[in-house]
Structure 1
Amino acid sequence: MNSPQRERRWTTVAVAGALLAAVGAGVATPALAADRPAGGAGSVAALRPAAPLDRGALAKTIADLPSAGITGALVRADGRGGRWTGTAGADVPADARFRIGSISKVFTATVALQLAAERRLDLDGTVQQYLPGLLPAAYPPVTVGQLLDHTSGLPGGGGLTSGDGTESWFAEHRAQSWTPAQVVADAVRQPMGFAPGSAQQYNGINTFVAGMLIEKVTGRTFAQEVQTRIARPLGLRDTVVPDRDDVSLPGPHAPAFVDVPGPDGSRQRVDVTEQSPWPWAEGGMISSAADLDRFMTALLRGRLLPPAQQAELFRVPDVPNVRNRNCEIGPTAGHACFSKGLMSATLPNGLVVWGKTGSRPGYSDAVFATRDLSRRVVVSLNPTDTSGKEFPAMWRIVTTAFGSGQTYDAQPGPAGTR
């Protein structure tokens, strides 16, 4: 799970020009239908295929990397018009494995939706029914579906796993781990954020609880379920859920670092490639660009879910967004942008893409695709701090991959998601 600072700081994302002015002025957006496709997906712009792949433009997006705050970059774009893979940094293999952070949530949601299709998990059933005693008695009923689309109202993480939120704290505690029950118990000492189903607030505690539900109804570990249901059938050889105390990053990979203050006030670089995967079902998985592309392709083609559950991937609840700057862009600003598993974003050229971002200290990743799979992109950067300074570069790569003539003015903000 991400620390409170890590979640709060993600990115303020706004489209340049008139849209930026409208959002900044608080101009209301049109009312949207319940369970709407986010980002105006019914429009011609949203449904059209991505523009031809511009390999030269993509190469330019990483030409200045590594920079002072990014030691490496890996980009893979694929779809109609061919494939392009580029790296920056002397130690970045094209087939690198990396920690995918909150992209793990997509795997968790997929397993949960499969269990719903098998009638082993009821999306309208409550956490209190499946895991009695996990949530305080004063909490209202929270459904499984509300966990998956972040409308549960559960509080965010506490101080147990984040300390003071600094790079120094993480470097010192990078091998430490906690059980999912400890993480949830620490979080629910706080009151509910809002009535379940009334708003959307991206929150890693939702996915911790979802992972616990998966283990409860299957009698198997989350790692076993991902392996047998997703990784093995799709041939994802680089994709693993590490054991809680396994700090290694096996196979080819780029080193990851964070910069911490030294005794003399200078910045000292600490290698954090080896770190605890304690975020587990919420953010602890390891994968590669090729595996994430294959997973996203299979998921959007309907290979992993029956039609009823597949529809949940593209159904975004029509509720307000709470403290999540990812949802403050485009024609749906102020509204939810997460479905039961994916995030939707409307790019400056009107194209709607679906996917997820994720991060761990030393890693900042994204996987996005058009719904028709005419373009897919996977990005993995190696930032040296946890402030989100890499996000302008991240979104410049993403928008370029989808042929947008504009990019987002992405800046670290006081609220958001990873």
Structure 2
Amino acid sequence: MSGPGRPGRLVGMKITRVRMVTVSLAAAVAAGVVLPASVPAFATTRHTVCDGAGVDASGMRQAMAGLPNTVATSAQVRVTTPGGCWTGLSGVADLRTEAPVPANARFRIGSVTKVFTATVVLQLAAEHRLSLDAPVQRYLPELLPAEYPEVTVRQLLNHTDGLPSPALPDDLEWILAHRYDRWTPRQIVRDALRNPREFEPGAKQHYTNMGYIVAGLLIEKVTGRPYAQEIDRRIARPLGLRDTYVPGADPAIRGPHAHGYQVVTREGVTSLIDVTNWSQTLTPASGDMISTLADLDTFTAALFGGRLLPPAQLGEMFTLPPVKDVSGGPATHSAGLEATTLPNGEVLWAKSGARYGYSSAIGASRDGRFRLVYSVTSTDAKGEGQMSTAEGIIHAALAMR
């Protein structure tokens, strides 16, 4: 489960082997919804050059073609290069009506939320309202047990805090049955701390939601305002992000959007369940936000361009901790982002997110001149490995650079 107990699988710039969802189109039925046996005419990619000529998007059109299929029902992509900007939509927004994906459709961004949360915490550090080297216990003295070792604010942001996660059932049927449950951040932390810590703070890196759930509480303690208000006040409104918001306990996606679906097999019958409406209270400040391609691109450009953070704090987003990941490899997560080294040695910085029905990501070169934003309504967004449509989009975007 991609709550505090199990982080969402990354579908970002890292290219790995694909685990295909092997289900026939005819078998993908849920509550009367049937995937079309052939791709309707309106499912072909619609595209516009948004910032000038000079972008060859032929590979991207091919990567997005053929939707809906067994692994995804729609895709939205925005690629910015020094030569221009390209936006494409493909697939359907609703399997019942076969309506096309609306322009500027909203979607769940999952763990891309962490980039927003990290930005606010780093802004507070720049304002000297908190210190990244100070223990969390200084600001939230009653959150962690008295005997708990000191966890610094920086360790929350770069996933070296060692905080445990709640032990929750990993059964899909249980998850679906409890998708409207409401959680509070302190309830999540309290349940998590029943488990032993994973490692001494600062000793290793393990990507989970827990550090960011605590970071959300930290924002509220330091500012005296809800985390959602600070996201809106400090980022969304100054940048004009009119379609970006924290849903709170509202399980719906407000405004135009594509439906999300999850593949389920019951008694030998494989079907798709509409999972568009889903409470995101289990991932506060770590995976709950909603946005659009245009808003995420604007945010990414502003962030990488230094409009949201001074140089010292922005540097935290491009600095990896000198520790090993729990898997034994090098740390790849900074404060909010993840580093991926391309074969030519260039490092790209990205963040992906997965909520049931939705896979999304932002990524950019360090100078921000190359940027990628996508959302794919994956039929198994929390599955193992890369989802083929997202992988094709990533490869095509890299070829457009």
Q: TM-score range by the shorter chain?
A: 0.7 to 0.9
Query: In 2 relative to 1, CA 181–370 (structure 1 residues): closer, same or farther, beyond 3 Å?
Result: same
Query: C-alpha offsets along residues 217-255 of structure 1, whole Å, 9 cap, x if unaligned?
Result: 111000110111000000000100112x21111111101
In 1, the alpha carbon distance for the partners of 2:8 and 2:294 equals 30
What's the counterpart of residue 344 of structure 1? 339
The C-alpha deviation readout for 1:298-327, integer Å capped at 9, x for no partner, is: 000110111211111111112101149xxx
Structure 2 Cα separation of the partners of residues 391 and 190 of structure 1: 32
The one-letter code sitting in structure 2 at the alignment partner of 1:80 is P
Q: Residue by residue, what CA displacement relative to the aligned partner does 1:19-75 show, whole Å, maximum 9, x if unpaired?
A: xxxxxxxxxxxxxxxxxxxxxxxxxxxxxxxxx743001111112333212111111
Corresponding residue number in structure 2 for 1:164: 170
What is the 5 A alignment of 1:186-265? 186-243=191-248, 245-262=249-266, 264-265=267-268
Instruction: Point out the more displaced range, 184-193 or 1-10.
Output: 1-10
Structure with the greater relative contact order (CA < 8 A, sep ≥ 6): 1 or 2? Answer: 1
1:250-306, Cα deviation, whole Å (9 max, x unpaired): 1111011112233x4312322111111212211100000100000000000110111
Q: What amino acid maps onto 2:364 in structure 1?
A: A
Q: More displaced, 102-111 or 193-202?
A: 193-202
Equivalences for residues 43-192 of structure 1 within 5 A: 53-91=55-93, 92-159=101-168, 163-166=169-172, 168-192=173-197
CA contact (8 A) 2:7 2:209 kept: no
Q: Which amino acid aligns with 1:344?
A: A
Structure 2 CA distance, aligned partners of 1:180 and 1:372? 35
**Structure 2, unpaired ranges of 5+:** 18-53, 94-100
Equivalent residue number for residue 290 of structure 1 = 294
* 1:349 CA drift (Å): 4.0
Mapped to 1, the partners of 2:4 and 2:308 lie a distance apart of 33
TM-score, with normalisation over the residues of structure 1? Answer: 0.80
Equivalent position SS for 1:281? coil
CA distance in structure 1 between the aligned counterparts of 2:176 and 2:128, rounded to whole angstroms = 43
Q: Which residue of 1 aligns with 2:28?
A: none
Report if the CA contact (8 A) 1:248-1:274 is conserved.
yes
Higher helix share: 1
Q: Does the CA-based 8 Å contact 2:67-2:92 persist in structure 1?
A: no
Q: Which amino acid aligns with 1:130?
A: Y
The separation in 1 between residues aligned to 2:88 and 2:156, in whole angstroms, is 36
- The match for 2:394 among 394, 398, 409 is 398
11 and 306 in structure 1: CA distance in 2 versus 1, 3 angstrom threshold: closer
Match of residue 20 from structure 2? none
2:385 and 2:378 map into 1 onto residues whose CA distance is 8
Match of 2:272 in 1: 269
Question: TM-score, normalised to structure 2's length?
Answer: 0.83
Q: 1:8 to 1:86 in 2, by over 3 A?
A: closer
Q: Distance in 1 between matches of 2:263 and 2:348?
A: 33
How many residues in Structure 1 have an aligned counterpart in Structure 2? 355
> 1:14/1:381 Cα in 2 relative to 1: closer, same or farther (>3 Å)?
closer
Q: Is the 8 A contact 1:3 1:165 kept in 2?
A: no
Structure 1 residue 344: Cα displacement: 1.1
The one-letter code of the counterpart of 2:235 is I
Q: Which runs of 5+ in 1 are unaligned?
A: 17-51, 325-333, 406-418
Contact persistence 1:126–1:142 (CA under 8 A): yes
Alpha carbons of structure 1 residues 54 and 175: separation in structure 2 relative to 1, 3 Å: same
Give deviations 1:124-169, integer Å, cap 9, x for gaps: 111112112212333210000100111111113421xxx3341x22
Q: Does 1:387 align with 2:383?
A: yes
- Confirm or deny: 8 A CA contact 1:10 1:388 kept in the other structure: no
The aligned amino acid for 1:291 is D
Judge conservation of contact 1:78–1:375 (CA < 8 Å) in 2.
Answer: yes
> What is the distance in 2 between the residues matched to 1:289 and 1:136?
41
Identity of aligned residues (%): 50
